[in-house]
Amino acid sequence: MKPVKAKSVFISFIAMVVLSSCTEVPEDVKSRTEAKNAALSEAQNHSDRTGEVKFISTDELQVDTEKALKEKYSNFIVSDKISINIPSEITKCDFKQVSNYCVNAEKLVDQFFDESLLDGEKPVSMPYDYTKNYTIDTYGFRNIDKKIHFFVWNNGFICFMKPPLFEEQTEGGSQQAIYHIDRNDDLSGSYLLGDKEVSVAEAVSAAQKWLDDNYAQFEPKYNIKIKTLIVRENDFGEYSYHFTAEKHYKDIPLDELIMMYENNDLSKMKYMNNKITFIMKNGTDIDYFTNHTGIIEPIEKGKLDKIVSLSSALEYLEKTFAEFNSSMEIADINLKYTLKPIYDLNNGQPYNAEGVDITGKIVWEFVIDVPYNSIKHTFPNAGSVRKYIYVDAETGEMDFYFELDKLLQ
C-alpha cells in the first residue's frame, strides 16, 4: 500500500447561496442561485451517462493516481493534503449482515464493563417488536440507578452507556472543533474531560488502543481506524470527544458517510453506512459506544482487474460540473466500498436485519467539505461536514449529494 501526495494548490471552499423564507432575497442572489440549481440539474443528467471514463489495469493505478493528483483543473481545486492508499490488490466484495449475534452478549459485557460498575448486572433476553411483523432478538439491560445501559441485537448491533453519558442526550450543546485523523490534522488541541485535561493527540492514541484491545476481536476481518474526532460542549460547559472509526477490508474502507433512501422510499435503501462511534467524557475512558448498523461479513467475489482511472474520473468531474462552480475544493479522495442492502420493509424487515444480503460497490469517493457554521450556527473552529461525489470504479456511473440551501455564497 503506497501513499500518493498531491502538489500544493490554492484552497477554496465551495460557494453557494443560503436561501431564507424569512427575508427578502436580492435579485442577483436569486439569479445566481437559479443558475447554480440549473447547473446542478444538468450535472445530474450528465452523471447518468456512461462512457465518459477510461479503464486501466489495477497494476497501472499507482502511476495514474500520481499523475492525476499533479494536474490542475479549471472547475475545482484538489487539496494538496490528499493521501490515497493504493492496495496491492482490489477485491470485489458483497456483504452479509450477521445472524444470531446475541450469543456474544455476556462476552461483550465482560469486555466493556468493569465488574465493580456492573455489580452483578447480567444481560437478559429483551425481544424488540420492530414492526408488527418483525421482532428483533435482543439481549441487554438498562439500569437507571446504576446509570448503565447495554444492548446487543442478533444483527450485531451493539450499544453501551456508562454513568457520565447515561443522560447526555438530554444535555444539548454544540460542536466546537473537528479533527480529521485520516488527513493527518494537527492534534495539538486540549480540553478538560471531567477533572482531567486531555490533549487531542492523547485521546486519539487512547481511543485507537481501546479499539484494538476491546473491540477489534469482534470484527477480526477488518482493520478498524479512527477517522475523525469532534469536540462538543454541552449546555453545562462540559466537554466531550466524539470519535468516528471506519472499517477497512484489505486496505479499502467501508462507507461510513451516507445513509440514503431512493426517492425517500423507506423500502429502498440506496446507501447504508457501517461505522463505529464512541465518546470520551471522563478522562480517556470510553463512556458511550455504538456500531450503529451492526456487523457485516465480507463475501469475496474475486479480484478487480480493470478499474476506472483516477485521471479520467477527475476529467469526468470537470465535464459534469463545468457550470456548477469554479472553485469547488475536493478535500479528500478514496477508494471505498458502498453498501446497498437487499431487504423488504413491506414485510416489516429493517434494512439491517440479521442475514440480509448487501451489495458492495467499489467507488472513487470525492469529498467536499462544507463549513459547519452553514448548517446551523457559527462556532469557533467548528470545522466542516462532508458531502460526496461517487464514481463507480467498475462502471463509471456517477452519483453525488449536495444540499443547496446548506452551502454558503
- Chain segment 316-338, per-residue pLDDT in tens: 988 887 665 556 788 899 999 99
Mean pLDDT of the chain: 83
Residue 45 has a pLDDT of 57
Confidence of residue 251 (pLDDT cuts 50, 70, 90): very high
Look at residues 307, 325, 324 and name the one whose alpha carbon lies nearest to residue 364: 307
Question: Nearest to residue 316, comparing CAs of 216, 258, 392, 248?
Answer: 392
Statement: residue 226 has pLDDT above 70: yes
Task: Say how far apart CA 72 and CA 74 lie, in whole Å.
Answer: 7
How far is the C-alpha of 122 from the C-alpha of 150, rounded, in Å?
10
Min mean pLDDT across 142-146, 253-257, 345-349, 404-408 is at 404-408
pLDDT at 222: 98
Q: Is the distance from CB of 381 to CB of 179 less than 8 angstroms? A: no
Least-confidence region, from 128-132, 143-147, 166-170, 212-216: 166-170
Does the predicted model carry a pTM greater than 0.75?
A: yes
pLDDT at 52: 77
Residue 108 has pLDDT above 90, yes or no: yes
Can you count the helices (H) and strands (E) in the chain? 6, 28
Mean pLDDT of 255-263: 88
Is residue 376 very low, low, confident or very high in pLDDT (cuts 50, 70, 90)?
Answer: very low
Distance CA 225, CA 245 (A): 5
Q: How confident is the model at residue 170 (pLDDT cuts 50, 70, 90)?
A: low
Closest to 371 in 3D by CA, of 5, 11, 24: 11
pLDDT value of position 175: 86
Q: What is the pLDDT of residues 264-305, one digit of tens each?
A: 787 889 999 999 999 999 999 999 999 999 999 999 999 999
99 φ, ψ (degrees, to nearest 5): -125, 160
What are 228-244's pLDDT values in tens digits? 999 999 988 999 999 99
**Confidence band, pLDDT 50/70/90 cuts, at residue 9:** very low
Rounded Cα distance between 153 and 136, Å, is 7
Nine-digit cell at 203? 485521546
- The mean per-residue pLDDT over the stretch 118-132 comes to 93
Q: How far is CA 323 from CA 35, 36, 41, 68, 316, in A?
A: 9, 8, 11, 22, 13
pLDDT range class, residue 98, cuts 50, 70, 90: very high
The enclosing H or E element of 341 equals strand 332-342
Quote the pLDDT of residue 6: 39
Alpha helices in 22-100 (DSSP H): 27-47, 61-70
* Short-list 99, 104, 102, CA closest to 127: 102
User: How far apart, in whole angstroms, are the C-alpha atoms of residue 401 and residue 367?
Assistant: 10
Residue spans of alpha helices (H) in 191-309? 200-210
Q: Which of the pair, 312 or 15, is modelled with greater confidence?
A: 312
Q: Looking at residue 80, what is its pLDDT? A: 87
Q: Which amino acid is at 143?
A: N
24 pLDDT exceeds 80?
no
By three-state DSSP, how is residue 104 classified? helix
Task: Compute φ and ψ for 135, nearest 5 degrees.
Answer: -110, 135
As a whole-number percent, the residues of the chain with pLDDT over 90 amount to 61
For residues 194 and 357, what is the distance between their CA atoms, to the nearest angstrom? 43
pLDDT at 22: 33
What Rg value do the Cα atoms of the chain yield, rounded?
Answer: 22
